[in-house]
Structure 1
Amino acid sequence: MLDLSRFLANVAEPAALLGPDGQTVPLPMEAYQVLVKVVESMRAGKAITVAPLDQRLTTQEAADFLGISRPTLVKLLEKGEIAYERPATGRHRRVRLSDVLDYQSRKRQERRTTLDQMTADAAAAGLYDEVPDYREALRTARKRRAS
């Protein structure tokens, strides 16, 4: 992997694929960019999955992808948080990968918004001005949250 990573780091343009019979085929720019990202991620020890966005996942596969339990995923499906389909001949739900990615993106944005609001509240309360009394700030925040 290190050799491939070094090679890709020194190549500014897409390379070509070399077949076993010596035939070469230019590698399209899109495939080259994916290859570069895959190699970078693998070199960093990350797991890689390549799948079409319209791929349908089982509830267990979707739960594994999100890092949650299957029962938790089923609750999200039933609440309408993630769209799903039930094949006419089966009773098992199927979830599109694109819908799982959309949910993941929405949750990420919600977390960012919440953290931004918490930071703004802390700044407004003067918690960044000097070393605050965290116990008092925590009591105030709890009172505000309870009301």
Structure 2
Amino acid sequence: MAQTAAAAPSALLPSAEQAEVIDFIESLRARGGTPAEPSARIVSADGTRGVVIPESMFQILVDVAEALKAGLAVTVAPRHLALSTQEAADLLQISRTTLVRLLESGAIPFDKPSRHRRVRLEDVLEYMKRQRAAAAQALDDMVADAERLGMYDVAGEEIADALKHARRAR
């Protein structure tokens, strides 16, 4: 499925036919999670050697395979470094109107070279990172408040500790 840089997003849905993905993951794990060669390569189905890919691209492919194995859908969408407000809103999974409010409030920087606002992909990703951190802090605060008020049971503490540990591991 070859796509141009301006291609529409495509969703990869997990299916029974994706045994190759699972085999890919198991093969990597069997080798200690590293490629068999010093550099990762894309190889065609007939075994012909393809191009060498950077480690960062290899890790992306591993992450996609892990998500599909876990039964998650993966969306592949080409992105420009500068996004329209609709593209940025879609990436954040919010309405365009909400995004414009965020832009006007200064939460996300933007440029307006003409009539239309342009948002840098880097700024949108940074905003997402800040939002995740704020949500994690809010959850930690709620857990601490519940513990302080004696509203947390033992099983809840174990879950909270596991969540805190998982968050720190990221």
Q: What's the counterpart of residue 118 of structure 1?
A: 142
Q: What's the counterpart of residue 33 of structure 1?
A: 59
User: Does 1:94 pair with 2:115?
Assistant: no
Q: What is the alpha-carbon distance in structure 1 between the residues aligned to residue 118 and residue 131 of structure 2?
A: 20
Structure 2: 5+ residue stretches without partners: 1-17, 155-170
The TM-score, its normalising length taken from structure 1, stands at 0.70
- Are the aligned partners of 1:56 and 1:95 in contact in 2 as well (CA < 8 Å)? yes
User: Does 1:6 pair with 2:31?
Assistant: no
User: Does 1:16 pair with 2:41?
Assistant: yes
How many residues in Structure 1 have an aligned counterpart in Structure 2?
127
RMSD of Structure 2 on Structure 1 (CA): 2.9
**Of the two, which has the highest radius of gyration?**
1
User: Does 1:45 pair with 2:72?
Assistant: yes
User: Does 1:64 pair with 2:102?
Assistant: no
- Are the aligned partners of 1:56 and 1:97 in contact in 2 as well (CA < 8 Å)? yes
1:13-64 CA-to-partner distances (Å, cap 9, x unmatched) read 1553346997524533513222222223244332233656x71111111111
Structure 1: 5+ residue stretches without partners: 131-147
Q: What is the alpha-carbon distance in structure 1 between the residues aligned to residue 24 and residue 68 of structure 2?
A: 15
The TM-score, its normalising length taken from structure 2, stands at 0.62
Percent of residue pairs bearing the same amino acid type: 41
